[in-house]
Structure 1
Amino acid sequence: MSQSSSKVLGVVGLGSMGMGAALSAVRAGVSTWGIDPRAEAGEKFAAGGGQVAKSLAELGAKCDVVLVLVVNAAQTEDVLFGQDGLASSLRSGSVVVTAATVDPTLPPVWAERLLERGIHLIDGPVSGGAKKAADGQMTVMASGTPEAFAAAGNVLEAYSGKVYRLGDKPGVGSTVKMVNQHLAGVHIAAACEGMALGIRAGADPEALYEVICNSAGMSWMFQNRVPHILQGDYTPLSAVNIFVKDLGIVLDAARKYSFPLPLAAAAHQLYIGTASAGYGGEDDSAVVKYYAKLSGITLPAAKADAKADAKGQA
């Protein structure tokens, strides 16, 4: 449903999530600029009706709200405060929405630095995966001042299905996303472990998937990721290395609170082991390959005529 806005949106990072968010905003009637170092990403966005900026400086000068959907905190900081970063090109009164999974202590620091230039920050990580991003149905876990939300207007709603306003200070959104990543990482690891166990014990993997999806042991991650295993398709929709990073953030934050996370720690070791075995760049369901190496099980072969239908990220 169209929800046109007088605000101009910029999207930094046209990956699977950023592209979906940007094109969803275009479909919602929001004038949208995008930028990505990959030329093919810009071409795809332009073909979908978006406008492609040649530099961060150009994008910042054109936009009222900028969604920064890059990989990590280092990239976010570079986009904001690096050479020709948004801090030097955005107008006073504009808004930055940071969406990468980061340590919750960082968004308040970024917000303070930006506010010195009159720029607002909304701590707004997202969840839902590539498909929900493409459908404009992502969940946004947002926190920031009332002034920041007022300045953003309805732009966040243009690329999402649900916007949760979680607090008046940046950092709360990233705290909630951190908990989401804790659970997502553990659930994926458990799904891979369960499938590997079933295969090792002689269960038909297709039947095992069907039964679990209709039983109490089912989780969204099991239902979403196991089809990648069944089709032998480990195209990185969300890579193993993402959870090496994200669960590392979770564990580092918990350490500051002297809070034990034995399940997250065990899952983190599985992702590290999987990455060390050479699968870090593959889909996070490749944790099952680590179990295959340990146990000698034979996983379903790749199906040349099909890609995994259940596309998603955390």
Structure 2
Amino acid sequence: MSYNTNMSLATRQRSRLSHSDVKLILYLIVQIKPFKYVGDRTLSQSRKWDLIQQKFERYKLSRGTTPISVPTVRTLQRQMATALRKAQTLQLADPPRAPFDVFRHLSLQSSLADLERAVLELYNLSEAYKTGQTVGPLPDIVHSFADSPIEAEPDAEDAPNTPSPHASDSGDDMDVPDAMAPLLASLHALMDQNAAFYGECMAMMRQHSTAMAEKCAYFERLLTSTAELLKTTSPKTGAAVLHAETHADAPAAEPADEPAADVPADVPGDIPADEPADEPTDAAAGDTSDSTSRERQSGSLSVLLN
């Protein structure tokens, strides 16, 4: 049976994607890169989505899967949007990794989280090319991944009736009336805006946390330097510095009231004119008479000796 005959086996009926289907879709997105500024620029984005559908169908045929349900382009795009939201949430919680490090060992057997992270890095790279933040060719590790073959998973695929928790709703493949298309587009745009706002909030919180950590580290270094400085100074100087730092914020004590100067009770210049001066006391008069008597006795003794 030729390939064209086998292609007719593919149907586009309503179905839920299995876990392996979601991984295959994300792997093909990483391989073909249906972005405007990343991937083969000779192909349009719609042509890239067609290639993803064709490779998805070929892989299913090579595995002998029947019947084959090829997801629509809208389903593929919704799976990519879901992967981007989940990868952004995980990226905010996980520690930072080297750019494009996930591509080194990426395969169809990789975890769903790694495939989602790879899709997010390609999307961010396309946005960087769009805004001019990145110029030049693609990184080698990203460019060479486009030529890597699709490796089949060693385990058997999930049963077609086993839904994946990461798959889109069964209504993804349903035809939407033209009247509802603008409303759905607005809802998707609103969801994308909410996801972008959430990402910006988390980025600001990370910046605030980084700034607070730097301040704490600065204050710790300042305290350590102050403690070392106090140890190197003399005990008296260190005690004086410590006392000054301890009482730096204490209010200054008010100076005590000085005692009033003693004013002499009797100052000669202050004696009123109408009041007589104090007369000498009896003790002072007695001292004067005794001194006169001793002078007379010494005079008499000197006469006798002569």
Q: If each structure's helix is expressed as a fraction of its own residues, which one has the higher value?
A: 2
Q: State the TM-score bracket (shorter-chain normalisation).
A: under 0.3
Q: If each structure's strand is expressed as a fraction of its own residues, which one has the higher value?
A: 1
TM-score between both structures, scaled by the size of structure 2: 0.26
Structure number with higher relative contact order (C-alpha < 8 Å, ≥ 6 residues apart): 2
- Asked which structure has the greater CA Rg, the reply is 2
